[in-house]
Amino acid sequence: MSIKYAILGFLTRESLTGYDLKKRFADSDVLYWSGSNNQIYRSLVALHDEGLVTRAIEHQDDAPPRKIYTITGVGRDALRDWVLTPPEPPEVRHHFLIQLAWADQVDAGELNALLDQYAEEVHIKLLMVQEQAHRSIEDFPPRTSREATLRRAVAERWEAIYAEELEWVRRLRQDL
């Protein structure tokens, strides 16, 4: 996924600064993106250069000026065009599966501790996704019933992924 489209998506709701966008990404497990904060700022400059966003500079007395970005009509069209591109299957990079491929190198107690640690991490992610979905509705009420359905579907899918992972760990323990 290109960070540019996620930024445009956030800007459909409200105008934001680069800092606001960094916070949105950092607070989101549902709309996951990994990368450097500099990518956000570089993308905002590119989006502005392409005419997909406007930038207003707000001067502050005790701080550097704030750059506030707003999506343009062209930006909305670009986001819509991207949404309509053929979907890609998810990329699966599962580091724990690579660890498990060689887990016969450790004793049963160490493997059990590793599984405990993994299950706890997954459980925490599940709780975070559930909490974030709840907060998201409060902080950013859906604008339409369709948006509410789509956001709920995304949150439910992430919850299902983590719940399925916990069930997989349970079955693995049983098989071992």
DSSP class of residue 104 equals G
75 C-beta neighbours (distance < 10 Å), count? 24
| Architecture (CATH level 2) of domain 3-83 | Orthogonal Bundle (1.10)
pLDDT of residue 38: 86
List CB contacts of 6: < 8 A, sequence separation 6 or more: 25, 31, 33
- DSSP-assigned states of every residue in 51-66: TSEEEEEE--SSSPPE
d(CA 66, CA 44): 13
In order along its 176 residues, the chain shows pLDDT tens digits of 588 998 999 999 899 999 899 888 877 766 666 666 788 899 999 999 999 999 999 998 888 899 999 999 999 999 999 999 998 887 778 889 999 999 999 999 999 999 999 999 999 989 988 888 777 777 778 888 998 888 888 889 989 999 999 999 999 999 98
pTM score: 0.70
Paired tokens of 64: 């550097």
d(CA 101, CA 121): 19
Give start and end residues of each alpha helix (H) in 12-107.
18-26, 37-49, 73-83, 95-101
List CB contacts of 9: < 8 A, sequence separation 6 or more: 31, 79
Q: What is the pLDDT of residues 1-43, one digit of tens each?
A: 588 998 999 999 899 999 899 888 877 766 666 666 788 899 9
